Amino acid sequence: MLISIGVIAALPWLLASGYWRGILVLCAMNVLLALSLNLVLGYTGQLNLGQSAFFGIGAYVSTILIKTYGWNFWLAALAAVGAAGLVGVALAAFAVRLRGHYLAIASLGFAVITYQVLVNWESVTQGVRGIYGILPPVPNTVALFYLVAGIGLLVYFLLDNLVHSPVGDTLRAIREDEVSAAALGVNAAVWKAFAFGLGAAIAGLAGCFYPGFVGTLVPDAFGIVESFTMMAMVIVGGMGTMIGPVIGAIVLTFLPELLRGFGELRLMVYGLALTLVVLFMPGGIVQAWIAFRNKLA
Amino acid sequence: MTDLLALIVQQSVNGVYLGCLYVMVALGLTLIYGVLNQINFAHADFVTVGAFTAFFTVTRFATKVLGIPDTGAYLLSLFAALGAGALLGWVVSAAVFAPLRRRGADELRPLIATIGVSVLLENGQLALFGPIPYQFDSPLARETIRLGPIFFSGQSALVVAVSVAAIAALYAFMRFTFMGKALRAVAQDRETAGLMGINENLVIALTIVIASALAGVAGAMLGPVVVLTPFTGASLIVKAFAIVIIGGFGNMEGTIIAGLLVGIIEAFTVQYLGSGLIDLVVFAMLLAMLVLRPTGLIAERKEENV
């Protein structure tokens, strides 16, 4: 805990240029998003490809409340987190009836619908023209990084406690075998709704910081590609572990930056990396590391 | 009144044409799902590869090298795209699906691996061809056929003809050939089929190759009527999934009906609500379907997924 606080405190001064500080903020946001998806995908075993929608809902609800209704940032963030969480519970209504690929496509369809609503509901969202001149809640990038990274750390430890509590056991029981879990008296519907709602709320929380960081808000930031990116972070890092998605988020935020020299081949390498990790490190970086350490010992 | 009727018929014709293209793409997904219980997320990118293959066949190889007139060149490009799709399908089958199957992977990992393949293909083509849209002409798109008050282009007649022929060939293959029978056997029960001496790996590879070849041809037919970029196919993939689900995963008849239905609904959405709302209407339909009848239009045996 102390070490991670120390690392977070030192990072903006180790990577001191404005550009790299921006990447750090992005990285902290990605960590939050990966943590949010991991709760649903990794611990509850629900194939959710709609996480980008909650990120978008958080961003739009908070920004509209601030810009149009003049709300205070924190109040707006609270409302946005609540809204994303509620929509997450609503999506869980599908998860109660559907499993596996059906849920994957249903949640993907949900993400597409959310995206289309953002594009078409112009009177509220400004559609593809976008919302401009959005200010971050704190004056500079370093402060924004400390804020988002601090929240990320807090969320990490809260989730860590959660998954090591009986609630975590319940979620894992649903993941491993829903029928057996139900036979043991687990109300799978309620707990799925809980996981979806909490996961969505955390993604919505990440969404609150995104518009202020970028300064503008357009629907394209919340397309289904964003869901794929989050999923890649969780898988590459190691899903169903707490630290895995954090590592995945860090690696996949910085890897494209380090590959910038490859120009247009950059994203190609990213796709290749994703496929290769699934093929050759099925448990992600975390499991590969454990296996490597065991081999040394 | 006759005007309204003519309009309805005209939009239905447009819808059937669009629907045929969707069916060509979605059938492949459904075939793969039926046999393998896996989703190929890169499937629609095979459509893009087919379209680019057709583009280069028409504009470079056939007309410049072989000196074929343009109608012949375009028809040749359909076969080139078929070959490109089949080849790509074989590569993905051997490099991604087969190793994951050997390891007995769950349903999630092949999905993620093919998302990676999709990103790889899209950006690989972006690096090769650049972001500026390509355009090529099908000589058939210039022909207008008139039937009373109804108009349609030669291209849409070709699309419908090729789709019907492809579906007929597929059905004949499934019914009357040994490999077709083997394919159906593997779809029903992979292990038992293996015990009966069917080479299941060959059957699965063949299924993926056939599915990808269909996607390639669809690309060659789509190429001349859209702005061709490396991301052309990607815009189709989610809709193709919607069709597969509406029709019932792994169910060919259901997929064909759902594809045509989505095409027709899309045509009428453009007419009455505006083209911006197409995706909204299609996916609202998908979610409604999942709530009301999650087994798809034609109920199937795969209860465990619902």
Q: Where are the domains of chain A?
A: 2-296
CA distance B197 to chain A (A): 28
Q: How far apart are CA A236 and CA B295, in angstroms?
A: 33
Nearest residue of B to residue A116, measured between CA atoms: B280
Evaluated on CA atoms B79, B81, B85, B90, the torsion sign reads positive
Q: How many CB pairs under 8 A join A and B?
A: 138
* Phi, psi for residue B149 in degrees, rounded to 5: -85, 0
Put simply, the answer to whether B280 touches A270 (Cβ < 8 Å) is: no
Confirm if B162 and B217 have CB atoms less than 8 A apart: yes
Residue B4 resides in a domain: no
Min mean pLDDT across A8-12, A21-25, B239-243 is at: A8-12
Confirm if A144 and A213 have CB atoms less than 8 A apart: yes
Residue B16 resides in a domain: no
Which residues, including other chains, have CB under 8 Å from residue A22's CB and lie 6 or more apart? Answer: A141, A213
Interval A242-267 mean pLDDT = 81
Q: Does the pTM of the predicted model rise above 0.80?
A: yes
Task: Note whether B99 and B55 are same-domain residues.
Answer: yes
Nearest residue of B to residue A97, measured between CA atoms: B306
pLDDT at A291 over 70: yes
Show the tokens assigned to B219: 């690309």
Which of the four CATH numbers 1.20.1530, 1.25.10, 1.10.150, 1.10.3470 does domain A2-296 have?
A: 1.10.3470
Task: Note whether B204 and B243 are same-domain residues.
Answer: no
pLDDT at B305 over 60: no
pLDDT > 70 in chain B, percent: 94
Residue B218 resides in a domain: yes
Task: Note whether B148 and B255 are same-domain residues.
Answer: no
pLDDT tens-digit map of B105-160? 677 788 888 988 998 898 889 888 888 888 887 777 777 888 777 788 888 888 89
Residue B80 is part of which domain span? 24-166+200-232
Chain B hits for A273, CB-CB cut-off 8 Å, are 116
Show the tokens assigned to B289: 């379907």
Average pLDDT, chain A: 87
- List all residues of chain B from 213 to 242 with a beta carbon under 8 Å from chain A: 238, 241-242
